[in-house]
Structure 1
Amino acid sequence: MKRSLITSAFAVAVALALAGCASAGATSATTAADAGAGSVAETTASVTLTDGWAKAAETGMTAVFGSLENAGSEDLVVIAVETDAAESAELHEMVGDGSGTMSMREKDGGFPIAAGDQLQLEPGGNHIMLLGLTAPLLAGDEVALTLAFDDGSTLEVTVPVKDYEGANESYDGGEHGAQ
C-alpha cells in the first residue's frame, strides 16, 4: 500500500512537471515567433544557399557570397543576418557615385528574392557584410549564419572560409575599414 501510494505520488509529480515544461516551451516559442526571431518550426525550406563562402580576414570586416535560390511559390525578402563570427552582420549593395567609383552600403529594405528566382551574392555586388569580427576567419574555417526573412522564417547555413584577393571595395560612409 505504501509503495503504491509513493508510486502514485511520483507519477503525479512527473505528470505535473511535464505539463509545466510543455506550457513553458509553448510560451517561449510563441514569444520567439511574435518577436520575429524565428524558431525551428518556422525555418523555410523554400530558400537555399549554394556555393556559399566567406572571405578570409584576420580582423575588421569581411563578406559572405553565394547564390540564394527561392524555390517556393511566394516572394521573400532577406531582412537580416545573424552570426557569432562578428559583432554585427549587414546586407550590402554596391552603388556608383556617378563618377565611376563604386562603394558598398547597407541595403535598405533587404534583398528581395522572387518566387522561383535566385539572388547572387558576389564580390562587387550584393553581399552579406560581417562587421567587427570576433576572431580571425582563416581559410578552412566555417561560419554559421542565420538569415531572417520578411515572413518570419529563417535559414541556418554554414559556409567555408576561403582566401580571396578581391572584394576590397570601399565602404560608403567610411566608418568601417575594408578587408
Structure 2
Amino acid sequence: MYSPRSRSLLPAVAALAAAVLVSGCGGQGTTLAATSAPSSPAAAAAPSPSPALTITDPWVKTGEKGMTAAFGTLVNNTDAELTVVSGASPLSPEVELHEVVESGGKMVMRPKKGGFVVPARGTHQLTPGGDHIMLMGITGKVEPGAEVPFTLTLADGAAVQFTAIGKEFAGGKENYQPGEDKS
C-alpha cells in the first residue's frame, strides 16, 4: 500500500534505478554525477550573469614574424569603470597595451600608460591606428583564420580570456617592426 510519503520517494527511486541501469551498460570507468532538478521553473530559466568584460569581433593581423596586433571592441557589462592593465598570449613572450599618438608631427606607437579604461556599461575600441594589443616577437605564423588565445588582466586582478581570429589587413600600412621608418 502506498502512503503519501512513499509516493514522494518514487521519483528518487526511479532516478536511482535509471542510474544503475545506465552505469551497468556504460562499461568500466563510467562515472555518473548526481544532479538535482531545479526547484521551480523560474530557477531553470534564470540566465547566468554576464562576465564583467567581454570583447566583440576580436581579430589579430596576420604575420610571419616580428610584431603584430590584436583588435576588437571591449565591452563593460558592469555599472563601474573597468581598466585593462595587461595582456598575455602563448603566441608572444611579450604583450603590451599600446596607443597611437602624434609626436613631433608623426604618428607613433607607445605603451598605453594606465591601460585601457572601459566606462561603465560602455565600450572601448581597439583599432588599427589607435589603441591595440601589441604582440612582440611572435613565436609562430599567424595565418588567415588562425585562432589565437589571449588573456587580459583587469586592475582588480580578474582575468578575461578570448580567442582572436587571424585576418589579413593592409590598412594604413601600420609598421609593427621596431626601428623602421616607412614615411
Scaled by the length of structure 2, the TM-score of the pair is 0.68
Work out which structure has the larger RCO, using CA pairs closer than 8 Å and 6 or more positions apart in sequence.
1
- Structure 1 position 95 matched with structure 2 position 101: yes
Q: Which amino acid aligns with 2:149?
A: A
- Structure 1 position 119 matched with structure 2 position 152: no
Partner of 1:153: 158
Distance 1:146 1:69 in 2: 15
Partner of 1:128: 133
CA gap of 1:58–1:177, structure 2 versus 1, over 3 A, is: farther
**Residues 70 and 113, structure 1, Cα contact 8 Å, conserved in 2:** yes
* RMSD of aligned alpha carbons: 2.1
Q: CA deviation at 1:168?
A: 3.4
> Which 4+ residue blocks in structure 1 deviate beyond 6 angstroms?
none
Q: CA deviation at 1:159?
A: 1.1
Q: Which amino acid aligns with 1:133?
A: I
Larger Rg: 2
Q: CA deviation at 1:170?
A: 4.3
Give the helix-richer structure, 1 or 2. 1
SS in 2 for 1:86: coil
CA gap of 1:163–1:155, structure 2 versus 1, over 3 A, is: same
Q: Which amino acid aligns with 1:108?
A: K
Partner of 2:41: none
CA gap of 1:167–1:134, structure 2 versus 1, over 3 A, is: farther
CA gap of 1:152–1:75, structure 2 versus 1, over 3 A, is: same
- Structure 1 position 168 matched with structure 2 position 170: no
Partner of 1:33: none
Q: Which amino acid aligns with 2:72?
A: G
Partner of 1:141: 146
Partner of 2:73: 67
CA gap of 1:79–1:177, structure 2 versus 1, over 3 A, is: farther
Distance 1:93 1:67 in 2: 15
Q: CA deviation at 1:109?
A: 1.2
Q: CA deviation at 1:152?
A: 1.1
In structure 2, stretches of 5+ residues that fail to align are: 1-49
Distance 1:116 1:152 in 2: 19
Per-residue CA distance 1:97-116 (angstroms, 9 max, x = gap)? 142x2111111111111111
CA gap of 1:148–1:175, structure 2 versus 1, over 3 A, is: farther
Q: Which amino acid aligns with 2:119?
A: A
Alignment of 1:28-43 (within 5 A): none
Per-residue CA distance 1:56-85 (angstroms, 9 max, x = gap)? 000000000000010101111000001100
Q: CA deviation at 1:94?
A: 0.5
Distance 2:153 2:130 in 1: 20
CA gap of 1:136–1:71, structure 2 versus 1, over 3 A, is: same
SS in 2 for 1:133: coil
Partner of 1:108: 113
**Residues 66 and 176, structure 2, Cα contact 8 Å, conserved in 1:** no
